[in-house]
């Protein structure tokens, strides 16, 4: 059934960080500055020092990044929420927790506690450095799936498609040996494999132990009926009740991110405007590739709310 409204709010995840993110909004709003302080207290990390004055290596560390980016996403959303009337929300990987906060399925405090724990668990999940990830560009899904199958059989180790980002961009996750084998097979097919600077094989079974600990934490949280449906990474489908969110979210860390399905399902349900709330505008750049096979470019639009200036423009638009 089509949604009543035509707006979807999208929240980005890891890879959307940038120096100074969130500083302008925090300096303009004491309430938002307090969210940064709360996240620092919960995580035990000097987030403002890292993201407003630190170096890129520390900014890319998933332990630091998860609470910091979540604060930025939530802060931007709080600034524009009074004007936005979303029919639904979604978040890419880490961004899904910002979507839960926006929909009030979880409190802001609960989300900050969860992403701080998630960041620590994911940073510690692979101490021996077995796993890694690589983005695959310029290959269609059938070729990517063939590469994964061949590499799994040749190496005998875990590899899977972890992110279905666009029809021309997929992310592989697995052991270093399997990913290296896959990268060579991608080249023979005239594609491009780009190693990702990550501390493990995220969104794969290699995160299973970390996922179990996070699941135990999430089982204790107070889940609420979301104010609007949240399209979940695990299946790209909308979830509109607390019990279902509580059941599906613990699977997120080891499941693939079905982002193509998420966006196309939103469009199929009547969404015609996509507002990315978070730095860099990464998700907005994916929309054209995702929707091209199913929609004319004139039938939908997007807006990026990535900093204080963009938020003010959105409010005044």
- Catalytic site positions: 93, 203
243-246 contact pairs (CB < 8 A, 24+): 245/100, 245/105, 246/218, 246/219, 246/221
| Nearest-angstrom CA–CA distance, 274 and 285 | 11
4 alpha carbon, distance to own chain's centre = 25
d(CA 169, CA 92): 14
- With b for 16 or more beta-carbon neighbours within 10 A and e for fewer, the 177-191 pattern comes to bbbbbbbebbeeeeb
Q: Which residue has the tokens 């999430």?
A: 218
Q: How far is it, in rounded angstroms, from Cα 67 to Cα 43?
A: 7
Q: Can you tell me the distance from the alpha carbon of 99 to that of 176, in angstroms, rounded to the nearest whole number?
A: 32
C-alpha distances in Å from residue 207, one per residue of 134, 173, 276:
16, 11, 28
How many angstroms separate the Cα of 198 from the Cα of each of 82, 152, 267?
A: 36, 21, 31
Mapped onto helix, strand or coil, the DSSP state of residue 154 is helix
Q: Which is it for strands 230-231 and 88-91: parallel, antiparallel or unpaired?
A: parallel
Between the alpha carbon of residue 33 and those of residues 16, 37, 58, 213, 298, the distances in Å are: 20, 6, 21, 30, 39
């Amino acid at each position: 059934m089509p949604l009543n409204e035509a707006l979807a709010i999208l929240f980005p995840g890891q890879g959307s960080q940038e120096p100074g993110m969130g500083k302008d909004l925090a300096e303009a709003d004491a309430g938002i500055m307090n969210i940064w302080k709360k996240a620092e207290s919960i995580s035990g990390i000097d987030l403002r020092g890292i993201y407003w004055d630190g170096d890129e290596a520390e900014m890319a560390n998933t332990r630091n990044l998860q609470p910091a980016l979540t604060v930025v996403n939530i802060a931007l959303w709080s600034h524009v929420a009074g004007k936005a009337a979303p029919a639904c929300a979604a978040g890419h990987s880490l961004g899904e927790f910002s979507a839960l906060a926006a929909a009030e399925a979880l409190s802001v405090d609960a989300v900050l506690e969860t992403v701080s724990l998630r960041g620590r668990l994911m940073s510690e999940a692979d101490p021996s450095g077995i796993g890694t990830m690589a983005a695959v560009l310029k290959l269609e899904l059938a070729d990517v799936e063939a590469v994964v199958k061949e590499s799994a059989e040749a190496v005998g180790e875990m590899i899977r498609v972890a992110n279905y980002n666009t029809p021309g961009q997929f992310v592989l996750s697995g052991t270093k040996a399997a990913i290296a084998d896959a990268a060579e097979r991608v080249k023979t097919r005239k594609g491009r494999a780009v190693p990702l600077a990550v501390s493990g094989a995220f969104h794969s079974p290699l995160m299973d132990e970390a996922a179990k600990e996070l699941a135990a934490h999430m089982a204790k949280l107070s889940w609420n009926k979301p104010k609007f449906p949240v399209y979940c990474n695990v299946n790209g489908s909308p979830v509109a009740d607390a019990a279902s969110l509580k059941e599906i979210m613990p699977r997120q860390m080891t499941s693939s991110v079905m982002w193509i399905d998420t966006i196309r399902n939103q469009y199929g349900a009547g969404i015609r405007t996509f507002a990315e709330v978070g730095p860099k505008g990464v998700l907005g750049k994916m929309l054209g590739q995702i929707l091209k096979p199913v929609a004319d470019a004139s039938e939908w639009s997007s807006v990026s709310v990535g900093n204080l200036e963009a938020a003010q423009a959105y409010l005044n638009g």
